[in-house]
Structure 1
Amino acid sequence: MDRVSAPRGSDPHELLPWAFALLAGSGLLMFTVAWSGGTLGCGLSGNGWDAPPFALSTATRLVSDGPGALWPAPAAAVYAGMTGLLALLVLPAALVVRLVLDRAARPKGLAGRRELAALCRTGIEARARELRPGLKDRDRLHPDETGNLLGDLEPKGPELRSSYEDVELDLMAPRSGKSTGIAVPRVLRAQGAVLLTSNKSDVYTVTRGEREKAGTVWTFDPQGIAHTPRAMWWDLLGECHTIEGARRMAGHFVASVNDDSAKKDFWIAAAQNTLTALFLAAARGRAPLTELLGWLADPADRTPVDLLRDVGLLAMAEQLQGTVRGAVETRDGIFETARQTVSCLLDPEVLAWVVPDPDRPEFRPDRHVLGHDTLYLLSKDGGGSAAGVIAGLADATMRAGVVAAESMGGRLDPPLTAVLDEAANVCRISDLPDLYSHFGSRGINVVTLLQSYRQGARVWGEVGMDALWSAATVKLLGSGLDDADFVQKISTLVGQHDVRTPSVTRGRDGTSRSYSYRQEAVLPPDRIRALPKGTALLLATGIRPALIRLRPWYKEPGAGAIAAAAKAETAAITERAARRLMPGVTLRKPAPGQEAAPA
């Protein structure tokens, strides 16, 4: 009876003839190389080109008596000829084998060098000359002038870059290389102005020294993340002179306490409307923020209503007055919700950063986007954070970039680089998904870093996160994505490929082999979740998914000097923290490899 079996292994009796053929072929090849190489060495050494017979007896004599019995030349010359000929054959063969192995090592079903030509050096350089008029007449361009470094295509490259027209969304778990492989390189390689948000000081310490060489460094650190002395101020009310500006500013404070902008209840919506009116009254009436906080503490105060009427904003004044004259329980609930959203401004240390200070320079977003300066926005996350202020300043800076781009013909050149690290925690811009759709066309290169898709959905809602995902032209998915539903969707997007499965049929008439094909996921969900640290799945618009290897800053040329500067900056932060937290205590200079300690 015939029997069909899966190909667990081949019958040894079937492989025996192939083994004999392989052994005979290898011996023949070795003898051919020795015979040809020996003749070549003899001829080149000036001892004639007479070759011994190409026969089995010659091979036997060579093994038993040595080359002197076959060629009238020194043994060294003969051996040199054999070795040289062997090298000429082996090197090309090794290159071919390497190419075959590299091709075999590339994940099946993912994009290769040919599909990614638009992201490689030639394609991205051509795109940069189209987007940046200042580069058209330049013969040679630095790679960083052409686009943002994404990483190297697995397994052997080439280097891949996104254009300055792309906007990027990166989803990676903590400690998967977001800072070292994305945030730090983007800041270090930026060609124009830079904006960075973060809830830690790691990117700040690594990049500050290099960015100081490019231009002025502005550090907005109201909660002492890097323990930086206040050396600037930003006029928060300066963004609230229009109804749109006041509403956006109120929205940033509301979003800082509202986990899902798509689910605003009555109190949240009413608090935003009230804050909009108060911001507008303070800005138009030239009242300080401290007075605005007093209005919130005393809902019966008619000052903001009168200020709105004085500047002709009658409808806004009537709306605010209606809220104030409403039922006491409703009014107090609205004002209490509004007070909670701006509670960070009750801290005088936070408030000092957003009110005029004649002794310190003012940060002007409209000037910042036209130069090569750097703005670090640092804030804690969780309760009591200054996330609303951070989101407001980040939004003001990017909107200033849009205005500047329109005045320059539609696009900033050089582009503004905005790295929104921990965007879901410290930079909750409620309409960020909508802004993404046109930032790239304005020369504003935005990179939003999140820990997971679900984290973004918690802030912007499912619809908003879907919009952000769709608007991002480049997406990087790193290691540690544990959302099973999301990872399954990504596996579906990556697609399937054909897998050939052999089967062996054995019977009385002999053995036959046949093949069948089945569909298999290119990257199953478990492989996407278990991506090695430092690698990422690249999803770019119009291109098949690809697997890339990130390029951490500490493995790049010049990393030694950057690391030394970062170490010095870390020591300075430690010293400032000690002075702030332990007044009067000096730090003992640490020994190599140790941390500073009180003397």
Structure 2
Amino acid sequence: MLAVAVAALLTALVVAVARALRRLGRGRTRVDRSARYLASVSDLDELRERTSLAKAARLGVPGRPGLPLGRDLRSGGMLYASWEDVVVGIAGPRVGKTTSLVVPAILAAPGALVTTSNKPDVVRATRDLRAGVGTAWVFDPQQVVDEEPTWWWDPLSSVTDDTSAAKLAGHFAAGSREADDRGDAFFDAAGKDLLTGLLLAAALDRRPITDVLGWLTDPDEREMVAILRRGGYPLIADDVESASRTSPRQRDGVYATARKMAACVRSSRINRWITPAGGDAAADPRPRLDPDAFVRSTDTLYSLSVEGEGTAAPLVTALTVAIVEAANVCRWKELPDLYSHLGSRGIPVLSIFQSYAQGVDVFGHEGMRKLFSAANEVVYLGGVKEAEWLRELSELIGDYDHETVSSSTTRGVRSASVQNDRRRILDTSELAELPRGRAVLLASGVRASMIATVPWMDGPEAAVIRASLAAADARAVSGPATATAPASGAAS
């Protein structure tokens, strides 16, 4: 009987080891040999589960180690970014960024979560699970997942003074500009100043944001000037008034620039999400998103938008308090300057780019360098073909001593010589062709490491996610949502 029990135990252990090896990367890959030259098992102690759990407990998040990054190839242990860390992911198309980074990060979130995307897969995979711990708010003005506006949000709710109005105007300015549009220094600044004044006037008079667009279509309108004077902003009132009294060419240019910045508000599909039904907030039966209440909850906000005509990107940026995905959806110009600060305030951020160049398009060369350097962890999943950046990444990963042994025979005497030369641990071609299931991890204060990515399909919530995907498919077949409130669980 004992022999049977021992045999059963050994069988179970063999199965467990086989499963672990399968999860660790579906077998060895051509780049795994690099692990011997990279971070050792002890080098990664700060990122391991035990250390991460202790740090999380000190931060008031017991039992949740952090954002999962992947498995150490040497030990097989999971590695985590802490709840004070900010992370950058560089992942080309179809390399598993959603399955291995975004969805696991969403599942790990202990509190309020904001995720931005231009595709429906994140919502489909995680909505039902997040609705079980709080309200799932889906902001979908461009019908990425065919969601109806069963709730609304007032972008002017954050405008309390001229500073906050300027910040909101900045989001509109950044979100409305194409990546290759260098603009005009004078008209961009003047248009943003005009938009700032009009946003402030609308907020002071408790107007819907659509009134701002109405004011911008008529340079002779003075209503907003009177509102600003009554509200105690005479200098801004003077600026708004002077914008309409300059030469016709300059006036038209300034107003046209401001209209372009606020163009997304013109869309009837979009403004159903940002104005009360019938123009009366008190009579609108739909729930209204309160950002102050949201950040204290366990709710989830999915902010969805696509680029091109009618994009809601300026509104998505204004609505966002943390990013999980997308540079082309959430053009938050201040992000590089705020990155390390956000982590220290307990707002972990995971920003994912399809390439380093995509980040440069949004933030500029200096901004992207600042963001990249401020990240506590950088995860590269492959799929990028930018030779210059890959060379920089190869340098950051480092070199190893390659030993060459040569032998010779002289007068019957055999001799050997050893030569050492420095070689890149991973060269640019290997980084460009990084196999799926592997990622390079650069963590602060630690040597670079090669890790195995862990897609949600190999995680403990796989069954729940598959059920969420099936439910999303069923909803798609039955038609757009017609409920009167966002999905919520008992905790909402």
Residues 306-365 of structure 1: CA distance to partner in whole angstroms, max 9, x if unpaired?
111111101111111121111111111111111112211111221121123421011011
Moved more, 521-530 or 263-272: 263-272
What residue is the counterpart of 1:266 in the other structure? 186
* Cα shift at 1:555: 1.8
What residue is the counterpart of 2:295 in the other structure? 369
Which whole-Å CA distance do the structure 2 matches of 1:560 and 1:320 have between them?
57
* Paired residue type of 1:252: H
Say which SS state the counterpart of residue 426 (structure 1) adopts: coil
* Paired residue type of 1:575: S
* Cα shift at 1:179: 0.6
Which whole-Å CA distance do the structure 2 matches of 1:289 and 1:509 have between them?
93
Say which SS state the counterpart of residue 354 (structure 1) adopts: coil
What residue is the counterpart of 1:565 in the other structure? 468
Identity of aligned residues (%): 38
What residue is the counterpart of 2:115 in the other structure? 196
* Cα shift at 1:382: 2.0
Given the alignment of the two structures, is residue 431 of structure 1 paired with residue 334 of structure 2, yes or no? yes
Which whole-Å CA distance do the structure 1 matches of 2:354 and 2:89 have between them?
8
* Cα shift at 1:286: 2.0
Question: Is the contact made by 1:261 and 1:459 (CA closer than 8 Å) also made in structure 2?
Answer: no
* Paired residue type of 1:435: L
* Paired residue type of 1:551: V
* Paired residue type of 2:365: E
What residue is the counterpart of 2:143 in the other structure? 224
Which whole-Å CA distance do the structure 2 matches of 1:509 and 1:520 have between them?
34
What residue is the counterpart of 1:451 in the other structure? 354
Which whole-Å CA distance do the structure 1 matches of 2:208 and 2:228 have between them?
15
* Paired residue type of 1:379: S
Distance 1:174 1:264, change over 3 A: farther
Given the alignment of the two structures, is residue 309 of structure 1 paired with residue 229 of structure 2, yes or no? yes
Say which SS state the counterpart of residue 353 (structure 1) adopts: coil
* Cα shift at 1:578: 11
Say which SS state the counterpart of residue 115 (structure 1) adopts: helix
Which whole-Å CA distance do the structure 2 matches of 1:264 and 1:210 have between them?
46
Q: How does 1:118-197 map to 2 (within 5 A)?
A: 118-132=46-60, 135=62, 141=63, 145-154=64-73, 156-197=75-116
* Cα shift at 1:564: 2.5
What residue is the counterpart of 2:131 in the other structure? 212
What residue is the counterpart of 1:466 in the other structure? 369
Say which SS state the counterpart of residue 35 (structure 2) adopts: coil
Distance 1:288 1:564, change over 3 A: closer
Instruction: Give the counterpart of 1:380 among 295, 306, 316.
Output: 306
Say which SS state the counterpart of residue 214 (structure 1) adopts: coil
What residue is the counterpart of 1:282 in the other structure? 202
Residues 197-248 of structure 1: CA distance to partner in whole angstroms, max 9, x if unpaired?
1111101000011111111111111111111121111111111221121111
* Paired residue type of 2:443: A
Question: Is the contact made by 1:255 and 1:261 (CA closer than 8 Å) also made in structure 2?
Answer: no
Distance 1:577 1:235, change over 3 A: closer
Say which SS state the counterpart of residue 404 (structure 2) adopts: strand
Question: Is the contact made by 1:108 and 1:497 (CA closer than 8 Å) also made in structure 2?
Answer: no
Question: Is the contact made by 1:228 and 1:573 (CA closer than 8 Å) also made in structure 2?
Answer: no
* Paired residue type of 1:170: G
* Cα shift at 1:155: 5.0
Question: Is the contact made by 2:66 and 2:108 (CA closer than 8 Å) also made in structure 1?
Answer: no
Which whole-Å CA distance do the structure 2 matches of 1:550 and 1:321 have between them?
57
User: With structure 2 as the length reference, what TM-score do the two structures score?
Assistant: 0.87
What residue is the counterpart of 1:43 in the other structure? none
Instruction: Give the counterpart of 2:274 among 344, 350, 354.
Output: 354
The structure whose residues are more often helix, as a share, is 1
Q: How does 1:395-544 map to 2 (within 5 A)?
A: 398=321, 418-422=322-326, 424-544=327-447
Question: Is the contact made by 2:129 and 2:464 (CA closer than 8 Å) also made in structure 1?
Answer: no
Q: How does 1:236-275 map to 2 (within 5 A)?
A: 236-258=155-177, 259=179, 265-275=185-195
Say which SS state the counterpart of residue 475 (structure 2) adopts: helix
* Cα shift at 1:420: 3.0
* Cα shift at 1:437: 2.0
* Cα shift at 1:470: 1.4
Residues 233-278 of structure 1: CA distance to partner in whole angstroms, max 9, x if unpaired?
1111111221121111111111112227987622222211111011
Distance 1:578 1:310, change over 3 A: closer
Say which SS state the counterpart of residue 145 (structure 2) adopts: coil
* Paired residue type of 1:368: F
Say which SS state the counterpart of residue 95 (structure 2) adopts: coil
Q: How does 1:48-59 map to 2 (within 5 A)?
A: none
Question: Is the contact made by 2:219 and 2:255 (CA closer than 8 Å) also made in structure 1?
Answer: yes
What residue is the counterpart of 2:251 in the other structure? 331
Task: Flag structure 1 segments of 5+ consecutive residues without an equivalent.
Answer: 1-97, 136-140, 399-417, 580-599
CA RMSD in angstroms, aligned pairs only: 2.1
* Cα shift at 1:129: 2.6
After TM superposition, the runs of 4+ consecutive aligned structure 1 residues lying more than 3 A away are 260-264
Question: Is the contact made by 2:41 and 2:74 (CA closer than 8 Å) also made in structure 1?
Answer: no
* Paired residue type of 2:45: A
Given the alignment of the two structures, is residue 340 of structure 1 paired with residue 269 of structure 2, yes or no? no
Say which SS state the counterpart of residue 349 (structure 2) adopts: strand
Question: Is the contact made by 1:105 and 1:155 (CA closer than 8 Å) also made in structure 2?
Answer: no
The size of the alignment, in residue pairs, is: 447
What residue is the counterpart of 2:239 in the other structure? 319
Task: Flag structure 2 segments of 5+ consecutive residues without an equivalent.
Answer: 1-20, 22-27, 483-492
Say which SS state the counterpart of residue 223 (structure 1) adopts: coil
Question: Is the contact made by 1:536 and 1:548 (CA closer than 8 Å) also made in structure 2?
Answer: yes
* Cα shift at 1:535: 1.6
Which whole-Å CA distance do the structure 1 matches of 2:209 and 2:249 have between them?
26
Which whole-Å CA distance do the structure 1 matches of 2:120 and 2:403 have between them?
51
Which whole-Å CA distance do the structure 1 matches of 2:343 and 2:464 have between them?
33
Distance 1:223 1:574, change over 3 A: farther
Question: Is the contact made by 2:142 and 2:312 (CA closer than 8 Å) also made in structure 1?
Answer: yes
Find the structure with the greater CA-based Rg: 1
